[in-house]
Amino acid sequence: MVQGTASHVGKSLLVAGLCRLFRDGGWRVAPFKAQNMALNAYVTRDGREIGWAQAVQAEAAGLPPSVEMNPILLKPHADAGSQVIIHGNVWGNLTAREYYAQRPVLWEAIRTSYDGLAREYDLILIEGAGSPAEPNLMAHDITNMAVARLARAPVLLVGDIDRGGVFAALLGTLTLLPPKDRRRIRALIINKFRGDRSLLSPGIEFLERKARCPVLGIVQHLHGLAIPEEDSVSIEEIENVNTYAIPLESRHEPRPFRVVVVRLPHIANFADFSPLEQEPGISLGYTANPDGLGQADLLILPGSKNTIGDLRFLKESGWAKRILSYHRDGGLVGGICGGLQMLGLRVEDPEGLETGGEEDGLALLPLVTRLEAPKVTRQVRATLLLGPWGAAQEFEAYEIHMGRSWPIGECSPLFEILAPESSEPVGYCSSDGRAWGSYLHGLFDSPGLRRAFFSWLGANRPVGHEPLPPSLDYRALREASYNRLAETLRAHLSLDLLWNIVGER
């Protein structure tokens, strides 16, 4: 089992890398995370929801993702409440106190999923959540040491040296754990290291002496992996990294397409934009500040787990006025899932599935949205319809949304579902194409669709751009990234110690 001293220390990527490493070694290996709290979600082949990280880990292990790999998914939609998804289906909206009261039900879901995987695979690589050393949460634990005890699993404890304080974090975690749980930790990993490894030697000797536990390895900080992370902390690294005002001296020089994603308070499924981080000729940035828009070529409203709440944020923060003026001046505005809903005339939540009530939208598309059950979760094959972007671009995508949207004015359907059969529209655009939205996640995974869209965008912007090279195969890039991650672990972990630890089970 891989546990961490805190969230975002790299547990998910390390488990993905270990999945690939063991798979390459001939093991039948599967990932498992008992409870995941994330707003980046994935839809399995049978139309059920799991955390994005477990889908990535399954892909690294060469497996189709399944709900057994993540039996409980929490999707926060308010400061004190989350949508609870058990075995891929919505179970209810609960506060933390209500959730903890359901521990027997939750634990049974975890136990049955783990037991099923354990019967099928040689090795289960379990990911913990947050930190196992939170005194106020230990009694409610269903995802860290409780799972280690269930699986009788040895634990690797990971600390992030890039953010500082890794020695204190590792030793502090060990100190706070009860003795029986502390004994489960067989080795330590220092993650995200940059610089001269020899300078760490005195610190490693001190750490091993104080912890009475070996350091399994020091893993270098990896840049440029085409593996989307599910934690919103990860987008801080590319938030506002680009300057969206064009310097006077370069106004007439070719430049990349600049794409801005609004960082909503309840942003969801921002993995949709990961392919744009890798695409040559495209510069992607996230910002919560309307002043960060500048002279962008494309503004996108992403998915949201609280559409009405985030729509109110747009109005209170000044984003709504900025978006409308940007659009009036010729800017292109798109929306995915919750973003599509916000671009419409009105969003209604009569059943209180999120915040309840209703809110006027930005009115860039003549749509009305009503949030209602059941939740739509499915994989689809779709095609781009004849319109401003071109036509006949088929691609695979998936839907995760509550409710439906319907037009009450003039706009054009954007995509058609080819399979499974469906009469429900999944996207619309204005007659000039400058406002568009879709319920489909994973749009930009398709090289053909990316090429069609950005070619049209380039032909309709007043400032010259760098010519777009052929679109990259993002799925192939992900495969290469899993291999690179596994090779890094081979190079920086003590494999003999790792095999010994795995052999304990």
Pairing of strands 415-419, 346-349: unpaired
> Containing H/E element for 505?
none
Could you give the CA distance from residue 235 to residue 444 in angstroms, rounded to a whole number?
Answer: 17
Could you give the CA distance from residue 92 to residue 86 in angstroms, rounded to a whole number?
Answer: 9
Q: Is the omega angle on the peptide bond into residue 420 within 30 degrees of 0, that is, cis?
A: yes
8 A C-beta contact, residue 461 and residue 298: no
Please name the residues in contact with 171: beta carbons below 8 A apart, sequence gap of 6 or more: 207, 210, 211
Q: Is the omega angle on the peptide bond into residue 374 within 30 degrees of 0, that is, cis?
A: yes
8 A C-beta contact, residue 245 and residue 281: no
Strand order across the 215-220 sheet: 2-4, 155-160, 185-193, 215-220
> Containing H/E element for 5?
none
DSSP readout, 303-335? EESSHHHHHHHHHHHTHHHHHHHHHHTT--EEE
Residue 65 CB neighbours (<10 A): 23
Pairing of strands 81-86, 89-95: antiparallel
Could you give the CA distance from residue 131 to residue 70 in angstroms, rounded to a whole number?
Answer: 18
What does the buried/exposed string (b/e) look like for 7-20 if buried means 16 or more CB atoms within 10 Å of the residue's CB?
Answer: ebbbbbbbbbbbbb
Residue 363 CB neighbours (<10 A): 14
Active site residues: 337, 441
Residue 467 CB neighbours (<10 A): 9
The closest of 65, 25, 15 to 45, measured between CA atoms, is 65
Could you give the CA distance from residue 229 to residue 234 in angstroms, rounded to a whole number?
Answer: 7
Could you give the CA distance from residue 357 to residue 341 in angstroms, rounded to a whole number?
Answer: 15
Could you give the CA distance from residue 216 to residue 495 in angstroms, rounded to a whole number?
Answer: 8
| 3-state secondary structure at position 76 | strand
